[in-house]
Structure 1
Amino acid sequence: ASILFYEEKKESLTKKEKELSNEEKDFLLSLARKTLDEYYKTGKKININKDPLTENLLNVQGCFVTLKKHGALRGCIGHILPQEELYKCIIDNAINAAINDRRFDPVKEEELKDIEIDISVLSVPEKLSFSSGDDLLDKLRPSVDGVVLKQGFYQSTYLPQVWEQFSSKEQFLSSLCGKGGLDSDCWKDTKTEVLTYQADVFEEH
């Protein structure tokens, strides 16, 4: 996933965030889809009336929008830290995932019919203290924890569902280091800042 700071399938949020209802999840998926349709038709962001929106949808919360085409990643961008109301986060990052993920060419309008949308709504990242590489390995929970690695000006993240792509914690962390432009063993360095978060992940059916 790219960061701008740069099935119903669900990972647990912390107790600080209220769990989204199925209706709220359906609304956000529909909003992401309508956002893309509107943007490709008019070049503008969709305008919606926020008055009927629920408290959860108006919460300031981090989110990622992932676009897949025939199951393959086509774009993924989001905000790790809470920056704006959740519904706005979805609107902004649906567009960003389609046109601003530098790993891919921008999505073309004719591709939209083949695009599948996943949404990840994030808890607030919390610093994870560790005394050694082995200690870090012991504390991380595959498929539950999203992980942010920070060292100086370099940082990168993997969402909780990315664990599925790796067979070990070591491979996950080494890949995350490389993604951030760091040495593959950066996770063993206690000077590396590690933050974890959880996500509520849901997708179009």
Structure 2
Amino acid sequence: MHFMDEYSKEEKKLLLDLARKSIEYFMEKRELMHVNESSIPDKLKKKKVTFVTLEKNGMLRGCIGSLQAHEPLYLNVVKNAVAAAFYDVRFMPVMKEEMDEIEIEISVLTEPERVDYKNVEELLRKIKPKKDGLIIKLGSRSATFLPQVWEQLPSKEEFLSHLCMKAGLRRDEWKNGKIEVYKYNVISFKEKWQDYFFNKLK
């Protein structure tokens, strides 16, 4: 698995602040927020892949990400935060009055690594619950689950079955040996309720 960068508390807070501010800015201006790159640490300018997850009262409220590193980390966070808030087709766009109840989580992904396997048993053996995020591909269909999804689907078989259904495939399609499987790890971090409201009151 590719090396995962570590991020300081300050860098994580900066990314979370950018995510929240970009949502609020888009809500008001209907355009992406411009970020002064000179204020961004070099580590956050590296090309990275991210997912931004929004939760409201502990329930999913939006989640959008990318799987190919094509732009700086901080910019990918800004774009995915806006997309999660306004363009996740599973949900209505986030409203201004909801923002105090929204909690933001950012996941930074390693580069996906192909899982080579000869049979179902080998595939299951190479997957590590609670650590690996998975991508599956078959023809034009594909889907991914972040490692956080293991909390809801702790069984390897159920994890793969639900991932197949997410991709629009039969739930047991992963057993036929034809799907491509990739795995990745994440560093994930989320807002702390106390920090958010302290900053809001300043």
Mapped to 2, the partners of 1:178 and 1:74 lie a distance apart of 20
Preserved contact between residue 64 and residue 84 of structure 2 (Cα < 8 Å): yes
2:94 is the alignment partner of 1:107: yes
Q: How much has 1:143 moved relative to structure 2?
A: 1.0
Mapped to 1, the partners of 2:129 and 2:90 lie a distance apart of 25
Mapped to 2, the partners of 1:107 and 1:160 lie a distance apart of 25
2:10 is the alignment partner of 1:23: yes
Q: Deviations over 1:128-171 (max 9, x none)?
A: 10111111111100111100000000000000111110131100
Q: How much has 1:14 moved relative to structure 2?
A: 3.5
- Which of 52, 73, 77 is equivalent to 1:90? 77
Mapped to 2, the partners of 1:52 and 1:118 lie a distance apart of 22
Q: Which ranges of structure 1 fall in alignment gaps of 5 or more residues?
A: 1-12
Q: Which runs of 4+ in 1 moved over 2 A?
A: none
Q: How much has 1:175 moved relative to structure 2?
A: 0.3
Q: Which has the larger radius of gyration?
A: 2
Residue 42 of structure 1 corresponds to which residue in structure 2? 29
Between 1:98-107 and 1:195-204, the stretch displaced more is: 98-107
Q: Which ranges of structure 2 fall in alignment gaps of 5 or more residues?
A: 193-202
Between 1:151-160 and 1:76-85, the stretch displaced more is: 76-85
Preserved contact between residue 144 and residue 163 of structure 2 (Cα < 8 Å): yes
Residue 177 of structure 1 corresponds to which residue in structure 2? 164
**Higher helix proportion:** 2
Q: Deviations over 1:55-89 (max 9, x none)?
A: 22101110000000011000000001112110110
Secondary structure of the corresponding residue to residue 104 of structure 1 = coil
2:120 is the alignment partner of 1:133: yes
Q: How much has 1:32 moved relative to structure 2?
A: 0.4
Between 1:65-74 and 1:41-50, the stretch displaced more is: 41-50
Letter in 2 for 1:170: E
- Structure number with the bigger relative contact order (C-alpha 8 A, sep ≥ 6) is 1
Q: Say what the alpha-carbon RMSD is for the aligned residues.
A: 1.1
Secondary structure of the corresponding residue to residue 19 of structure 1 = coil
Residue 147 of structure 2 corresponds to which residue in structure 1? 160
Paired residues, what number?
192
Secondary structure of the corresponding residue to residue 51 of structure 1 = helix
2:137 is the alignment partner of 1:150: yes
- Which of 70, 78, 91 is equivalent to 2:57? 70
Preserved contact between residue 55 and residue 103 of structure 2 (Cα < 8 Å): yes
Mapped to 1, the partners of 2:17 and 2:40 lie a distance apart of 14
TM value normalised by structure 2: 0.92
Letter in 2 for 1:119: I
